[in-house]
Structure formats: structure tokens, C-alpha cells
Structure 1
């Protein structure tokens, strides 16, 4: 039975690409797939065969020049927000709770409230059988709709809280609880009034109350999270049967990437490195240029994802790059990855068995960086405080660590064998079919 599936991703490349991967599998199975995406994604989803039902998260720009400029880059809403708050990334994570995490949640809340009526209209028009949300904030229109609600956690799964695991956004070690209570106390101090007001609004829309410290409802139908078993926390924080782990969820829609001829043939001491700080992190031009200049002094070859401010960056002679690159077809070809620790990139590196150097900037990137580091699959460095030789030394160490590379080859093969992309599509499809059958 063909279903109508509505995806509602957060307006950044990570969650949207995650939903694109799942949506394409469902589309190929004969289902109708619609994206309720933020307006800057206009024209970027339809080529895959998806319906586009666009929403605004804030009042449209009054100046037409600003509107045209914003439309050039998908996810512009959050790129602008990150640019304005980037100085906060230099602070310890506990200090970011007040100056970055809380304002980010407030911006998300404002967007959810602004687009609630738009989402209700989209749902009334398309009448989805399944409503799939990949975000960190509740949209009551989704949970009060007639269709079945499925939640995706495509951030680090510490977002699913528990007493046995470190608090989300802290980047704290699993075996050192000394700072956990202080971090949670500061989270409550800086978030409780905002959370309480949002919880009241959610209930006023007819949705269920939110759990303490949570900004989004857990589904009674199915909840998906994207994280490989090799990094997971379920030994310390078990999950109930509604939760389904996708060990990876690597989209299959990226174009093939052909290495430049001068990169295809390298000496035995020349690594091929992929540098990406994500669509948002790469907007920090100062940090990106420092990394580029430093890697230009090495013997290695480097592929650079330049991001939305590509025109402001200058590559070294041992590099190639572009504003947008097909990441999932590049990672399999490289020796190691320098990353911000975003969940998509982290799980994709594990999927393809590649070691990582992690330079976290915000949100769950600290948690991913810490988890990869403590599990031995990469090296976490202080993003703004590393010495030059720390970075270049980490590149050399990971490149020459044959035991780690052999281990990661086996890990990657196991993760690929678990086929998280189709596991997730199966869950969504089953929920939809069961819901339609129960509805009669």
C-alpha cells in the first residue's frame, strides 16, 4: 500500500541530508514523500522526486536584496545565526549553556511557534500517513495530526537523557562524573523558565506535556537514532522497544567524486585528507584559513569542503576544494578526516572506517568528539587552542597507525553490513502501514 510520508527536518544540512537518504529509499519503494522544509531549501529537494512544502521560520525579509541573498544558500537561517554567535564557541561548554545553547533553543522555539499554522495547513493538504521529524524541538502540529509520528535523533544520542550517561552538549568523559551535576544544575538555571513557557505553549496546542529538560516529545510509535553500536551508550543508558538504532544512515544521492589526477597517485608517506567543518562551522573563516594554511605546510594532499564563504578562503598548492562537495563519495577514498564532529560526518566516517581528528565547535559536536576519542577511533583537539604540531602530528599518527586502520576497516564493514538506511526506512514504512490498517 503506498503511503504519504511527511519529513520535517531541522533546516541545516545534517538533518536534511539524513532525511533525504531515508526519503529516497521510501520514494523508490513507491511511496509519496513530501518535505516540509524551511524556505531556503526551495528547488533543492524536488530534483530527488520529493514534494516541497516550504515553511518560514521567521517573517520574510522586507528588503528584496536580503531575500534574494538568503535564498542562495540552503539553511541560510542557521548560517546567519551561527555567524552572529561564533565567538561563543571559544568558551567552555558549561559557559556556552547561557550564551549559546539557550539562545539556540530560543531561536528554535520561535521558529516552531511561527510555523505552527503553516505546518497545520501542509498536513491538511497532504494528509500524511507518517510524520517524521528530525529536530530537537517539538512541533505540536506533527504530534496532534492524524498520521503516526516518528521521531529521529540525528544528533549525538546523549540527547536521549539518562542518569548513567554524561549530560548532552558537555563533551565530558564517560568515566569521570565529577562535573556532571554542576553542568546539569547550570542547564536548569539557564533553561528552566524558557522550557516551562514552551511546555505551556505545546500543551495549549493540544499536545502532551514534555518531559523535564526535553524540548521534544518521544513517539509512542517509533523513535530512530543514528549512531553506530561501536560508539553507543546503551550499556549505560538502556532504551525501550520504541527506540531503533540506525548504525549509520548514509544517503545514496551524492554524485560520484573523481580525484584530480595529481591526487590519484601519491607516495607512501603522503596521506589524502578530507577537511570539513560542516556547512555551519566552515563559516568561521579565521579557523578555516588557519587549518588550510597549516595543512599547506605538510606533504599530504587535502580535499577541502569550503562551505558558504568559499570565496573568502585561499587554498594551498597541495589542495583542492569547493563550496559544496559530495561528502559520502569522498570519504571512502581518503585516509583520514578532519571534522567538527557533526553527527552525520562522524557516523559516515565510522561507516567507511576512517579515523578522525575532531575539532568541535558547538552543540553535540563536543559529545561526538569525546566519544570517538575515548573509544580510540580518532583524536580530539582543542578547536581554538591546538598548537600547530598537535594537528600535523595527529595527521601523521593516524595515517601511520596501521593497527587502527585495520581495526576501522573491520568496523566499517560491520556497520555497512547492518544497513542502517534501510533499517530506518523499514521502521517508517511499518509504522505507516500499521497505522493505516488500524485506522481502517
Structure 2
């Protein structure tokens, strides 16, 4: 490679967890002299430029406006919100299968644009943070890095519970039932995707798989405190674990509360949870009865809330790491980025999962004693109150998490990832 700065093209999926995880890595790469740019799905314009990175926007093969794209996904989530209260097994037919089909449709519509864009950019490396492969990357023969920022169960192993199952190791009967149901639920989307791969002369993947490991480098956002013991050890030259991957944000100025000495609880369920306004309102009524300060992310639905208690502060968006750093408890949906941020700052988690990797992280929080889990909506006021107060009073858990946070912060995943990426570029 020449003496010029390497050009790294990040291509995260259209979710804030993946997007902001990649921002953290790009920030570390910038410190090491590399140039990072972001390829964006429609609807994510401006997410990366606010951090100072160049954006290149995909255009679909079919002419669809940004507003139409946002409306499509908003309607998709609203339609599936009732399914978020179902068990992981029951969500396979109602949510997981349809979601995989929607993901495959995105690949079909945007792969041509990605091929043209990456061809023009000619990056030294592509960093893909997604659950599915876009054939354009393989067709261009550009070295690529797979980032597994969803959850470690995405990478199958005999000692690891099935992806999206919310199951524990050892529950063999439930695991077999889930595996069979999963393959059946995703089969239509899988066949559709394999047909698209074959149209580009790419090999078919194993049943139920949508993304192969990178032959160059794979980065797993799985801190050691919650990491699983695999039956097959992953080769260290191709698989690198990250101890958290937290982006840098400006400090957060806490709002003034009547009781500023009360513990601080941050509540965020991402874009999925914000849509369920009725559930959030129900939770806020419980928060009023707890001796704590609550900062609650309600997304774009702030106007739906009135008579907010004095100990609750609502906002449409927050620079999450800056608040989690100050919090005594993080109540979230189990997204892997949120879970890892809680670990990175030594904060207990109350995981109330909606779907996808939330189920896996919820059970893992319980198994590793890094938090507790509660059903998304099937709880009494007293149950929610008891879970929050118990976690706030659990001094032994908080000490273990603080001790672990110091270790994680001494070896930040964003720096580990950046160094591994540049080492690959230099080959």
C-alpha cells in the first residue's frame, strides 16, 4: 500500500446500534491517521456527518423518496408492535420471518447502487456491520471486515444457544424446537436471498444463513464479562473480540431535579420502544412512585406526553454514552450496543426485550449477574418498581460491574478494532 492514508468505507445496516458502533471505530481510526467514510441507507442521511465523516447515500433501483422509505419502516414497526410481547419462539412466524424477508428486499433494491458507489470510491477496505451480505462487496473483490455488533449468538456454535432464541445452554429440547421452527420461518426469505446470490454467481450459504464469516477479519462486540465459552475456539488471527465499542460524545448536562441526590436511571428502548407510547406512559406512572431520577428517551413522540412527574425528564434523543456514564441503572430493550455500553460504564441493566438480540442479551444479563430481565409489557406496577429498586440497591453487583468497567476502559474495543483494521490494510 502507498504512503497515503488508507480509505475505509463503513457500511452499517439501517439501525442506530450498528451505525453508532461503527462511528466509535471510525473515531479511533481517525486518531491513527486513516480516512473513514460512510455508505448510508436511505433515511440515515446526516447520522454520520454530525460526527465529521463524509457520507455517500445509496439510491434504490426503484425510485423511492427518503420520506417514503421512512414511512415504510415506521408502518412496518407499528404493524409488528403487538408481536413484541410474544415469546421468541412465537415471534418467529409473526416477526422474524417477515423481517428477514424485508431485509432481503432491501439487499435486492440497494445492491446495484452499492456496487456503483463502492466502485467509484475504491476503498482499501469495506467494514460491513450487518446481518446479511450484499453481493456487491464480494463482486468487487474488496477486502472486507465483518462486524458482529448484534449479539455473539449470531455466530453459531454447539455450546452457544440459537440466535434470537433467548434460551440458555443445556435446554436441549427447547433448543431443538427453536432451531426447527427458525429454519421453517426463514425458509422463504432464505431461498429468495440465495436465488439473488446465485444470480451474481455467488455460492449458496448453509440453511438459515444470510452472511458468511469474512476470510480477512471478523470483529465481535462481546465483552469478556458476558462472553460465551465455545466448543470450537475461533482463530485469533481472523476473529477479534471487542471489550465494548463506545463512541465519544459531548458531556451531558443533567437537568435539574427536585431531589438531585436520588439515583439516576436512564430509560431507552430505541426506535422500537418509542412507538409504544401507551406502554411508556404506563411505565412513567410507576417511575413517579420510585425515589430516583429518570431520564427517558421517547423518540419522536414527545408531544404525546403531558403531566410528566417531577422526577422524570423526557427527550426525543440523547447522546446515550454520555448519560449511561452518569447513570446508576440502565433500563433498555437488550440491543447489543446498549448492553455493551452499560457494561463499559459499569452500570446494571434491566432488560425488557422486544425482539431480535434483545432476548439473547436479557437471559445473558441474568446468567452473568450483570442485571435482570422483565417481560416487555406483562408486569404489574409492583413488579417493575421492585426490579428497579432491587437493582439500585444491589451493591455487590454494582461493585463487580465497576471493577469490570475499569478493565474494559483500559482496552476499549474501538481502539482494538481500529488497530486490527489497519493491520489488515498494511498486508
For the criterion TM > 0.5, the same-fold answer is yes
More displaced, 336-345 or 424-433? 424-433
SS state of the match for residue 333, structure 1?
Answer: coil
Matched, 1:190 2:185: yes
Contact 2:183 2:207 in 1 (8 A): no
Map 1:22-421; keep pairs closer than 5 Å. 22-56=25-59, 59-61=62-64, 67-68=66-67, 78-236=73-231, 238-241=233-236, 242-252=238-248, 254-262=249-257, 265-266=260-261, 270-314=262-306, 315-421=308-414
SS state of the match for residue 325, structure 2?
Answer: helix
Question: 1:80 deviation in Å?
Answer: 3.8
Contact 1:38 1:57 in 2 (8 A): no
Which residue matches 1:437? none
Contact 2:37 2:55 in 1 (8 A): yes
Residues 263 and 424 from structure 1, CA distance in 2 versus in 1: closer, same or farther, beyond 3 angstroms? farther
Question: How far apart, in 1, do the equivalents of 2:132 and 2:184 lie?
Answer: 19
Structure 2: gaps of 5 or more residues: none
Q: How many positions carry a matched residue from both structures?
A: 422
Residues 40 and 346 from structure 1, CA distance in 2 versus in 1: closer, same or farther, beyond 3 angstroms? same
Question: 1:173 deviation in Å?
Answer: 1.9
Superposed CA deviations along residues 202-256 of structure 1, whole A, max 9, x for unmatched, are 132133332332101210000011011111113455323311111200011x221
Question: How far apart, in 1, do the equivalents of 2:253 and 2:277 lie?
Answer: 27
Matched, 1:427 2:420: yes
Residues 76 and 234 from structure 1, CA distance in 2 versus in 1: closer, same or farther, beyond 3 angstroms? farther
Superposed CA deviations along residues 132-176 of structure 1, whole A, max 9, x for unmatched, are 111101101112223211101111110101222211111012242
Residues 24 and 245 from structure 1, CA distance in 2 versus in 1: closer, same or farther, beyond 3 angstroms? same
Question: How far apart, in 1, do the equivalents of 2:178 and 2:353 lie?
Answer: 18
* TM, length-normalised to structure 1: 0.91
Question: How far apart, in 1, do the equivalents of 2:201 and 2:52 lie?
Answer: 33
Question: How far apart, in 2, do the equivalents of 1:130 and 1:310 lie?
Answer: 40
Question: How far apart, in 2, do the equivalents of 1:418 and 1:178 lie?
Answer: 39
Question: 1:76 deviation in Å?
Answer: 6.5
Contact 1:34 1:52 in 2 (8 A): yes
More displaced, 27-36 or 113-122? 27-36
Question: 1:335 deviation in Å?
Answer: 0.7
Superposed CA deviations along residues 28-60 of structure 1, whole A, max 9, x for unmatched, are 333221211112222332232322111146845
SS state of the match for residue 217, structure 1?
Answer: coil
SS state of the match for residue 275, structure 2?
Answer: coil
Contact 1:57 1:112 in 2 (8 A): no
Question: 1:287 deviation in Å?
Answer: 1.7
Matched, 1:3 2:3: no
Question: How far apart, in 2, do the equivalents of 1:353 and 1:405 lie?
Answer: 7
SS state of the match for residue 207, structure 1?
Answer: coil
Which residue matches 1:438? none
Question: How far apart, in 2, do the equivalents of 1:432 and 1:77 lie?
Answer: 38
